Structure 1
Amino acid sequence: MSFDDEPGHVGGDPGRGDDRFSTLGGTRQTRTRMPETTGDVYGGARRPQRTSRSLVMVVGVVVLLVAAIAFANRGGDGSATTPDTAKPGAAEPTAATGTKPVGGKQGGIASGFAQTDQGAQSAAANYAVALGSEGMFKAGTRNDIVRATHDPAVVDGLLGRLDQAYTPSFFKNVGLNDDGSAPAGLTFISRTIPVGTKVTQQDGGSATAEVWCTGLVGLAGAGSTKPVTQTWFTITEKLKWVGGDWKVESSSQTEGPTPVSGDNRASTADEIAKAVQGYGGFTYAR
């Protein structure tokens, strides 16, 4: 994806694109599921109604806002890369390869990915998770996440745009306090969960990886008017080999592929909050 194609990014006019991280964007139209009945939005609703727009989905868009910010494409450094047997863009088995995914971490995010097809997929998946987390709603952690995942050449410009996007008025629209914290008694949830990855292009110092994801976003707790909802989207990340690791140069998001919803009973707000607090995330790798 080219960041120049993203709304609100370098060289582009603000507006709605078909990208999540315009996931970093805040303008992406998405589908959300809301209960048909009144009362506890988490209890008893079996077949939620589909809507085309929702403030809660705006949260998901801004969560990915970091990746969607447009940046000029930059060429690779031409350094040698270990060849992969997989053909770019071809489907790969779900089974693990057995190769250790990373050699370390930066700011709590996996780092040290191999300069291979597999390494690019692992990097893209882990970066999607970080950029779609609650940490993006806090200035301090947002700074750390962006610097750990992006090419240093685009970091400062991206952070400036994100600071302009995460404002008290935006937080109010998504049900948060002016500083991005959740109101007393409520738990803010923002998670991106990769379902699959593939590399569509790799050329020494650059690669393009797609990450098919499902996401959770909203406020869990008694009295919440922004219930936690699920979305499906695909993030395309343009990666650059920088300082011995893959870093995001630009990214974009499109809606889907979206499966048919099951007939599961919606959980209570308390069950959702406890699940998110009790189950940690993963380091993703082929």
Structure 2
Amino acid sequence: MSFGDEHDSNGGAGQTRTRLPEAGNDVYGGARRPVRNSRSLITVVGVVTLLIAAIAFANRGDGADNPQSTSEAKGSTPTAATGVRPVKGKDGAIATGYAKDEQGAQSAAANYAVALVSADILKPDRRSEIVRQLFVASKVSELETSFDKAYSKEFLEKLGLDTSGNAAEGLTYVSRTAPVGTKITRSTDNSATIEVWCTGVFGIAGVGSTNPVTNDWFTMTLSLQWTGGDWKVASFSQKEGPAPVNADRTASSADDIAKAVEEFGGFTYAR
């Protein structure tokens, strides 16, 4: 089965659908990193620096794992809902059971982008679970070691978090990502490279926080492989933007932001 055949029968490229989670739990927190001039956000910049270093370390090699392209980049089309059921189930908080077609690959990439920049990735007890769920088996051991080194005790302290990835009492660590759209740049029957354009809110909310919650825009590129009956990540990278002009809008209070994170659940993203 080729991606092209499935794509034509399931609504076309660039059609994005968002599904609410089945439960009310917030499954997406998020650790992301805006590159900004504000001194109060300098610590957040370190997140992406260390993350990229960890990714580079884990993905060292001769490039043998990179999927070969059999189709070139496809142009974007207007966003619209489709009638294709995106996923079959869940593995913990992360959706699983994606279709072996372009829509399924884009669904997987959007969900995986959210998980990779979530607050849970900073929690040692959750990080290992996320890595094992998302990545191809051959990458798991390397990435677990790389992430553990990147998100060290010293690094977490700079963010204002304890060794378990939690903020101090009275403060709320916020890191939630929202995919804006996805694009396939390369695909074969068993592999795909997907770009996920994202925005999100990141920082610590609460009185006395030195790392206030801000928003950011970034693009994550994920190389996926079809293995074990589902899409898994072989490698990924991220870059800044595209970012729109910021609106001249009064910022909400730290308490309002913390309350919003607690009361508004996350999404399961799907094509």
Match of 1:103 in 2: 88
Q: CA deviation at 1:63?
A: 6.8
Q: Is 2:36 the partner of 1:32?
A: yes
- The separation in 2 between residues aligned to 1:184 and 1:53, in whole angstroms, is 20
Q: Is 2:180 the partner of 1:195?
A: yes
Contact 2:225–2:231 (8 Å) recurs in 1: yes
Q: Is 2:237 the partner of 1:237?
A: no
Match of 1:130 in 2: 115
Q: Which amino acid aligns with 2:94?
A: I
- The separation in 1 between residues aligned to 2:247 and 2:57, in whole angstroms, is 34
Contact 1:66–1:146 (8 Å) recurs in 2: no
Contact 1:63–1:136 (8 Å) recurs in 2: no
Moved more, 54-63 or 179-188: 54-63
Contact 2:66–2:223 (8 Å) recurs in 1: no
Output the TM-score relative to the length of structure 1.
0.76
Match 2:251 to one of 257, 266, 271: 266
Contact 2:174–2:261 (8 Å) recurs in 1: yes
Output the TM-score relative to the length of structure 2.
0.79
From the superposition, tell whether residues 88 and 69 of structure 1 become closer, same or farther in structure 2 (CA, over 3 Å): same
Q: CA deviation at 1:105?
A: 1.1
Q: CA deviation at 1:108?
A: 1.7
From the superposition, tell whether residues 221 and 62 of structure 1 become closer, same or farther in structure 2 (CA, over 3 Å): farther
Name the SS for the 2:138 alignment partner: helix
- The separation in 1 between residues aligned to 2:123 and 2:133, in whole angstroms, is 15
Q: Which amino acid aligns with 2:239?
A: T
- The separation in 2 between residues aligned to 1:52 and 1:187, in whole angstroms, is 16
User: What do residues 157-176 of structure 1 show as CA deviations (whole Å, max 9, x unaligned)?
Assistant: 10011111111110111111
Match of 1:55 in 2: 43
* Percent of paired sites with the same residue: 50
Q: Is 2:135 the partner of 1:150?
A: yes
Structure 1, unmatched stretches of 5+, are: 1-22, 35-50, 77-85
- How many residue pairs get aligned? The number is 237
Q: Is 2:261 the partner of 1:257?
A: no
Aligned pairs for 1:141-180 (under 5 A) are 141-180=126-165
Q: Which amino acid aligns with 1:95?
A: A
- The separation in 2 between residues aligned to 1:75 and 1:162, in whole angstroms, is 21
- The separation in 2 between residues aligned to 1:115 and 1:66, in whole angstroms, is 29
User: What do residues 193-225 of structure 1 show as CA deviations (whole Å, max 9, x unaligned)?
Assistant: 100101111101110000000122110000101
Structure 2, unmatched stretches of 5+, are: 1-29
